[in-house]
């Protein structure tokens, strides 16, 4: 959206619209491409790198993935072990990455690796890594409980050589570059999940109004009525928090706290709303024919 003179709220509108797709994997894949694997390159990359990697990615000719998480370092980004050692005008990369969205089909990876022995927050760099290079082994596509349409890979690097000009921005700044965009990632996740949860409450309400049990519609049971009202209220509050956080962010504020709160609440409600609504559907909720079971999964 930067090139079109649009602000971050437009990205949020896209995220929310994608949340109407009845599949979590699609908004996640688009989100990785749009607002996770490419922002550092957009902000800090050389013109040459942008031409080689960013232009075809925006055009949709390249699939990008983000190489941060490892088997022993997910949320704890500072403790990654993958190394990129400078040799002449190349980096030699060794290590591995885990939970890499779009990893099996990606054309390139925005890789975070340790480029020196320094302190953990100052020794990391981001590198544009073409996924066709020798020594890159895609170990497996991970079989998951949910997000089953999403290609999530485990990848190993064995003496992978990449030109040093593929470094994004400055050496040692990779951790900082990555942290800058985490707030946008969190908000993308919230904006994607909200419409799906609102939809499932609406569908459940409609179903409970039609389904007869003991001679009257299910919705005529007050306990059920109260529960759906509570869930609708929780979602409305989350929507307000998301709006407030976006407004503060657009004004240039640090929204780490609010974005983290919104992400926490969205994750909890994703489980609570789908679980509560599933109960209303009775045995049907256990089948794959209804949306609620898919969103629960």
119: β partners: none
Give the gyration radius of the chain's Cα atoms.
22
Which of helix, strand or coil describes residue 84?
strand
Q: Which two tokens stand for residue 256?
A: 């780490």
Q: What is the DSSP letter of 50?
A: I
Are the CB atoms for 232 and 201 separated by under 8 Å?
A: yes
Are the CB atoms for 123 and 114 separated by under 8 Å?
A: yes
242: closest CA among 258, 226, 219? 258
If one counts every other C-beta atom within 10 angstroms of the C-beta of residue 160, the result is 22
If one counts every other C-beta atom within 10 angstroms of the C-beta of residue 268, the result is 12
CA distance 246 to 106: 30
- State the chain's maximal CA–CA distance in angstroms: 80
Are the CB atoms for 127 and 91 separated by under 8 Å?
A: yes
Q: Which of 16, 70, 171, 185 is catalytic?
A: 185
Is 185 marked active-site? Answer: yes
Cβ neighbours of residue 253 closer than 8 Å, sequence gap 6 or more: none
CA distance 11 to 22: 19
Which of helix, strand or coil describes residue 255?
coil
168: β partners: 126
Q: What is the DSSP letter of 211?
A: -
The residues carrying an active-site annotation are 185
């Amino acid at each position: 959206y930067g090139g079109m003179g649009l602000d971050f709220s437009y990205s949020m509108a896209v995220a929310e619209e994608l949340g109407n797709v009845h599949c979590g994997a699609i908004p996640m894949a688009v989100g990785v491409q749009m607002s996770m694997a490419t922002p550092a390159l957009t902000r800090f990359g050389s013109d040459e790198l942008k031409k080689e990697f960013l232009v075809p990615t925006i055009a949709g000719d390249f699939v990008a993935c983000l190489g941060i998480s490892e088997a022993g370092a997910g949320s704890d980004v500072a403790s990654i072990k993958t190394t990129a050692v400078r040799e002449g005008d190349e980096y030699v990369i060794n290590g591995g990455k885990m939970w890499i969205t779009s990893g099996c089909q990606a054309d390139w990876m925005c890789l975070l690796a340790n480029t020196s022995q320094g302190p953990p927050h100052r020794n990391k760099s981001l590198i544009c890594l073409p996924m066709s290079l020798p020594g890159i082994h895609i170990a497996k596509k991970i079989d998951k409980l949910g997000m089953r349409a999403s290609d999530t890979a485990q990848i190993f690097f064995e003496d992978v050589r990449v030109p040093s000009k593929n470094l994004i921005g400055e050496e040692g700044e990779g951790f900082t570059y990555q942290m800058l965009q985490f707030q946008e990632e969190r908000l993308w996740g919230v904006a994607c999940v909200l419409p799906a949860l609102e939809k499932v409450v609406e569908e459940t309400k409609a179903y409970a109004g039609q389904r007869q049990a003991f001679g009257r519609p299910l919705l005529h049971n007050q306990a059920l009525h109260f529960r759906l009202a509570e869930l609708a209220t929780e979602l409305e509050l989350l929507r307000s928090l998301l709006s407030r956080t976006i407004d503060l962010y657009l004004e240039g504020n640090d929204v780490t706290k609010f974005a983290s709160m919104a992400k926490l609440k969205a994750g909890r409600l994703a489980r609570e709303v789908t679980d509560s609504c599933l109960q209303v559907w009775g045995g049907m909720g256990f089948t794959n024919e209804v949306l609620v079971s898919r969103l629960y999964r």
